[in-house]
Structure 1
Amino acid sequence: MSDNQNLLAEQRRALILEEVRRRGGARVNELTRRLSVSDMTVRRDLDALARQGMLEKVHGGAVPVGEPSAHEPGFEAKSALELSAKEDIAVAAAQMAAPGSAIALAGGTTAYALAQQLVDVPDLTVVTNSVRVADVFYTAQRATASGGAGPRAGAATVVLTGGVRTPSDTLVGPVADAAIRSLHFDLLFLGVHGISVKAGLSTPNLAEAETNRHFMRSARRVVVVADHTKWGTVALSSFATLEQVDVVVTDAGLAPEARERFAELPPELVVAGEPWQESAGEG
């Protein structure tokens, strides 16, 4: 009986480790449902895996063992993570973009998902330093033109900054910074590598940190789009405090403990799929 229990524990922990690595993190209640075991069993398994250095425990669950703070994953690697969460966030965030407004979309896979939701918002002016984001709008416009209808009325005007390309297909550096400094946005949608109370918003790329600062200075309103796995992550360079953010849009996977912390912080928290009333408009 003991051997069977040990075997089951090993199999269960392998499944937990796979889930944490595949999704970039997992909550205890998610693991209990998936494995059909008790909360206490999952917590014991997480303790054992953490002691072995296989994962890191966080409030309410676990995340993969931390990468070096300067490690920057490529776009393709990040795009495979938390797909449904990013889609939910994109749908919720897109509702904040008013027709005819000037918006900025910084780089990242969540911004890429958001761009796909914004292509039908009329008369937007979109400034982005993301090659991938710009391509979403260009592709949509080419598809309309190839259908014989000509340019669609109200199609977005897209401005792609110059700059040096990062592994996440984002343009950064002095050229990007100079372009952004001369502009003014109604709204900035900003993806992040990490978000925490102490470190604020952070990125592993020093040049990207500076470009993000310029984006924030040029925006009347700053909306951070970040899935729940970004909470508690700290990368090499902090570029803003949470006090400098107006709204954080996340997904329903955000742990209750993190929600409680947000209740004490200045940014308004929007959880995709849950009721929300905007307290301050764009006007």
Structure 2
Amino acid sequence: MLARQRQAAILDRVRATGGVRVTELAAEFGVSDMTIRRDLDALHAQGLLAKVHGGATVTGPSAADEPGFDAKSVRQLAEKAAVAAHAARLVRPGAAVALSAGTTTAELARRLVDVPGLTVVTNSLRVAEVFHGGGRSDQTVILTGGVRTPSDALVGPLAVAAIHSLHMDLLFLGVHGISERAGFTTPNLMEAETNRALMAAADRLVVLADHTKWGLVGLCSIGELSRADVVVVDDRLPEEGRRVLGEQVGELIVVARSAGGRAGTATATEGTPA
């Protein structure tokens, strides 16, 4: 087993059980304690787990924690701006697009308010507010309705029923977490169901994420990595994330951050066709 494969398996074990011991991992993988410690050092350096005496534990919030929109909106601003700026290039005048809830999709909305002839479907109150403030008479905005979540998403049976009657060219999906084991995830069960309905109603799926989403696992899976036609992420994505996404999504686009909020250089990696 290659080191990166072993490290991926260790990370999956930590996410699944909450913690691991060096001695147990060494016996399981047939390697020395020192090798396992080096693996834990590498994963800790990427912020994917927390080292403790004799082993490691899960880092960050629990799978069910759901930060509010305002709390998330002040994080990774340059990364989100670069990802949104590149994603905006994928939208053509007159298209029918869907934007899920999230701070990165809200940033994308700000870059789409001047695109003529758009039809926008969203379950995000914040996204709808952006387009309402734009005031273009040639844009149509459809807000799904539903039950409001802490992230200002509208979810549940009303949202799903509205989405089932629609068809979109593109879906821009924001996610809570991305992992090889769990795919794209969210901490909210009803939001996962609503996002799956959006995925089913769109011809193409574009996932927008900053690098901190890699390795996070929310309570509920939205879909497998292979469902994404395109993933746009910033250039601080760890090497392991680049490898896994490059192999499993249709196209991985890694965008350089820009302090001015404009998209920098983008590197596209062809993956397995979605």
TM range (shorter): 0.7 to 0.9
CA distance in 1, matches of 2:168, 2:176: 22
* Shift of residue 238, structure 1, vs aligned partner: 0.5
Instruction: Answer yes or no: is the 8 Å Cα contact 1:202–1:209 preserved in 2.
Output: yes
Matched residue SS, 1:76: helix
Q: CA RMSD in A?
A: 2.4
Give CA-to-partner distance per residue, 1:83-129, whole Å, 9 cap, x none: 11000000000000111010000001001100001111111000000
Report what 2:113 is aligned to. 119
1:85 alignment partner in structure 2: 79
269-278 or 96-105, larger mean C-alpha shift: 269-278
Misfit runs of 4+, over 4 Å: 276-279
Taking the aligned partners of 2:181 and 2:104, their CA distance within structure 1 comes to 23
The answer for the alignment partner of 1:253 in structure 2 is 236
Are 1:128 and 2:111 an aligned pair? no
The Cα shift of 1:52 comes to 5.0
The one-letter code matched in structure 1 to 2:156 is G
Q: Which whole-Å deviations, capped at 9, do the CAs of 1:118-148 have from their partners, x for residues lacking one?
A: 111111000000000000011121xxxxxxx
Alignment equivalent of 2:88, drawn from 82, 91, 94? 94
Q: 2: CA distance between counterparts of 1:200 and 1:78? A: 21
How many Å separate the matches in 2 of 1:275 and 1:74? 30
Count of paired positions: 217
Kept in 2: contact 1:242–1:267 (CA 8 A): no
Give the unaligned 5+ runs of structure 2: 1-37, 256-263
Structure with greater Cα Rg:
1
For 2:218, the equivalent position in structure 1 comes to: 235
Q: Kindly report which structure 2 residues correspond to 1:207-218, keeping only aligned pairs within 5 A, or say none.
A: 207-218=190-201
- Partners of 2:157 and 2:269 lie apart in 1 by 35
User: What amino acid sits opposite 2:265 in the alignment?
Assistant: E
8 Å contact 1:225–1:250 — kept in the other structure? yes
Partner of 1:50 in structure 2?
A: 50
* Greater helix proportion: 1
In structure 2, C-alpha distance between the alignment counterparts of 1:80 and 1:138, rounded to whole Å: 22
Offset of 1:263 from its aligned partner?
2.3
Identical columns (%): 55
Q: Tell me, in whole angstroms, the C-alpha distance in 1 between the residues paired with 2:267 and 2:199.
A: 24
Is this contact kept in 1: 2:101–2:152, CA < 8 A?
yes
Q: Higher strand fraction: Structure 1 or Structure 2?
A: 2
Whole-Å Cα distance in 1 between the matches of residues 267 and 62 of structure 2? 36
Write the distance in 1 (CA, Å) between the matches of 2:83 and 2:132: 22
Cα deviation, 1:24-55, whole Å, max 9, x if unaligned, reads: xxxxxxxxxxxxxxxx9xx69x68x93459xx
- Within 2, Cα distance between the matches of 1:134 and 1:244? 26
**Equivalent runs, 1:193-232 vs 2, <5 Å:** 193-232=176-215
Amino acid at match of 1:263: G
Does residue 1:191 correspond to 2:174, yes or no?
yes
| Separation in 2, partners of 1:277, 1:267 | 10
Return the match for 2:70 from 76, 79, 101.
76
Deviation string, structure 1 residues 215-239 (Cα, Å, up to 9, x no partner): 0000000000010100111010002
Q: Which residue of 2 aligns with 1:139?
A: 133
SS at match of 2:104: helix
- Distance between the aligned counterparts of 1:120 and 1:79, measured in 2? 22
SS of alignment partner, residue 221 of structure 1? strand
SS of 1:86's equivalent?
helix
Q: Is the 8 A contact 1:94 1:117 kept in 2?
A: yes
So what's the TM-score if we normalise by structure 1?
Answer: 0.72
Q: Does structure 1 retain, via aligned residues, the 8 Å contact 2:175–2:186?
A: yes
